Structure 1
């Protein structure tokens, strides 16, 4: 929201509301000036009829917005700034015609800071005090009215039947959130709460608009809060944490980035992370273990997909074998019919017999391929089961309180998996060598010798 700036640093006589054009320019007595100011404040405090207007409003007619749940931080520090430099930004209010009140849309901290200064210095005894003199210069004029940009319609909390009214209500709360975020130091938990609320408001806003008018909610939140799209997504991912980890985030024991990463884990994995945090493991070690768990889960998912693909391959191979068998049976019937003719066609018989031989070879090749596929699937299922067992062991309550033990288990499981893959590859290479050479026995003995020698370490 663009903010109109005013310079209130030029002295009390320049901080009073603009006088009517007919106001006399002659010098007046203090009593006359006071009366003129009172009259002018009463005039400008009348109901406003424009959509946006700068006015000085009596303090007792300004109330705080019910939905402003931001903490009022460092009021005295802000008051000190106003006392020394003047008020830089005016307040923004809605005029509530029904109750004849002005509801703050932006500027609650500034209002409270002025309140603090007025209460402290209005009847200050030491008139020569330097701070009091600054008060007279920068703040005292506001005793007659606070500077406000006034909007005529206040968005109440109750939803209106009109789409335009609903938009106005939504936009008012959006402005309130954004204005407060701009003026406060960043607080992760508070920003999280307001990302959630802005997400609700912008989503509701989109529902009232035509297709071409809708906005990208994440992009808009990022732009308005001056954060990245990735951070908006991270804030939303926090909702996927288990309650105990969510509480750790709220207590600042888990960062936004780490919380978003933990949210990608399964519930069991998150509970394991929780245990490690509670046992005092450092962040680097926890994140390393998290990466290992994610890698293991990825391996399991890959194996499951590969098994599914092999099952499809087996199904297709069975279908091919059935199709060839059906074609073979059809050719056999044709052959028998031709042979039983009184004058059989020998050339056709030879063609049918040749085709049957080809089909027989095709069926033999398909069955061998099917057998290999089934074996591969069985091996992969066994491998998957080992991974699942290893995952369960990593997540067991007996070990999940010791990050070093978990990491070592993971490394051992990966090492065993590498050995199995290596042995399978050696077996395949040895079979290939046997097919082209009669000297494969030497390699077989070398492999057995290496296995035997290194196996002693684990006996």
Structure 2
């Protein structure tokens, strides 16, 4: 009988209880190691890792690999170490050619499921970016759905994912909200490490138009809202509104008129938030606001740029 995803999990679906499979420790040539096409973990700070390996004189931690039919080995954990060693070899430092590897034996019938499980399990202790954490949940969610279909596991997929990754169900729910609702352009900002999980979660609760307005503001100003600056119900309305003015007699002094540039729940006491709203106003709102303030559009634009530089 072939390997089942649930063979990696105990009755509580915890990856920490995965059974130990046959493996050996070997020193394998860099040229025989092939990065996994399924690796989604970030490849940051390679130069720093290269320096650390050189200072230690060797790779200190084993890579996790599995044999391939052509005599090579697929890397499941250790992609950054592999790349750092490649950089050392490019510099002619051949003493780093052989890397210590834990070789995991996987039968072909099991490979499609066991490899992605080992990929996540073997990287459980690494420092992870926001993108790494989201992708872990996304992929574990797919694997757990497969497990439910295959074995009829009880419980919500969210809870199964949480126990598998040793995180809370509420955290999985937040990650699900981001994965399911955040627009692609903002997801790319997470991948680029420009958008933290907390802000991404707040943005995921906005509708598509509000998210796009936030991203447009980022493109224009180089800033994304963070923390309390992620406003929801008080996001400026970007829909053009008709301008209707009541006729006034010449003898009646002009009185300020209400306007739809700002919604009624703008928070005037929060200067940073107000500046965020002002600097994110669409261009078609500026002439109307300038008229209300008794200034020119050009002067208003200059004033908003100056305000933006204060925050």
- TM-score between both structures, scaled by the size of structure 2: 0.55
1:76 positional shift: 2.8
The question of whether the paired residues in 2 share the 8 Å contact of 1:106 and 1:180 is answered with: yes
Gaps of at least 5 residues in structure 2 are 1-14, 243-258, 268-311
Cross-structure match for 1:152:
105
TM-aligned CA distance change 1:73 to 1:179, over 3 Å: farther
1:314-353 matches, within 5 Å, as none
Alignment partners' CA distance in 1, 2:34 and 2:194: 37
Structure 2 match to 1:407: 264
How far the C-alpha of 1:237 sits from its partner, in A, is 0.9
- Hey, what does 1:234 align to over in structure 2? 174
Seen in structure 2, the aligned counterparts of structure 1 residues 205 and 285 have a Cα distance that, compared at 3 Å, is: closer
CA contact 1:262–1:270 (8 Å) conserved in 2 = yes
Select which of 232, 240, 251 maps to 1:397: 240
Which structure shows the higher helix fraction? Answer: 1
Cα deviation for residue 257 of structure 1 reads: 2.9
Task: Quote the Cα distance in structure 1 between the aligned partners of 2:157 and 2:260.
Answer: 40
- 1:109-188 matches, within 5 Å, as 109-120=80-91, 122=93, 140=95, 143=97, 145-153=98-106, 165=110, 168-180=111-123, 182-183=125-126, 185-188=127-130
1:54 aligns with 2:7: no
1:94 aligns with 2:35: no
User: Are the equivalent residues in 1 in contact too, given 2:28–2:101 (CA < 8 A)?
Assistant: yes
- Which runs of no fewer than 5 residues in structure 1 stay unpaired? 3-49, 124-139, 294-392, 411-459
CA distance in 2, matches of 1:111, 1:253: 26
How far did residue 94 of structure 1 move? 0.8
1:218 matched residue in structure 2: 158
2:30 and 2:191 map into 1 onto residues whose CA distance is 37
Please name the residue that 1:64 is paired with.
Answer: 35
Count of residue correspondences: 230
The whole-number CA distance in structure 1 between the counterparts of 2:266 and 2:43 is 51
2:133 corresponds to which residue? 191
Deviation string, structure 1 residues 230-280 (Cα, Å, up to 9, x no partner): 332222212224566656666777653344334445556667777887887
Distance 1:92 1:273, change over 3 A: closer
Change (3 A) 1:202 1:405: same
Name the CA shift for 1:58/1:244 in 2 (closer, same or farther; >3 Å).
closer
CA contact 2:199–2:225 (8 Å) conserved in 1: no
Determine which structure has greater relative contact order: mean sequence separation of CA pairs < 8 Å that are 6+ residues apart, divided by chain length. 2
Q: Name the structure 1 match of 2:49.
A: 78
After superposition, the CA RMSD in angstroms is 4.4
Give 1:340's aligned residue.
none
Q: Does 1:257 align with 2:257?
A: no
Secondary structure at the residue paired with 1:407? coil
Distance 1:62 1:265 in 2: 44
- What is the CA deviation profile of residues 374-420 of structure 1, one whole-angstrom value per residue up to 9, with x for unaligned ones? xxxxxxxxxxxxxxxxxxx9785339xx997202599xxxxxxxxxx
- Structure number with bigger Rg: 1
CA distance in 1: counterparts of 2:29 and 2:38, whole angstroms: 22
Q: Give the TM-score normalised by structure 1.
A: 0.40
In 2: Cα distance, 1:275 partner to 1:121 partner? 47
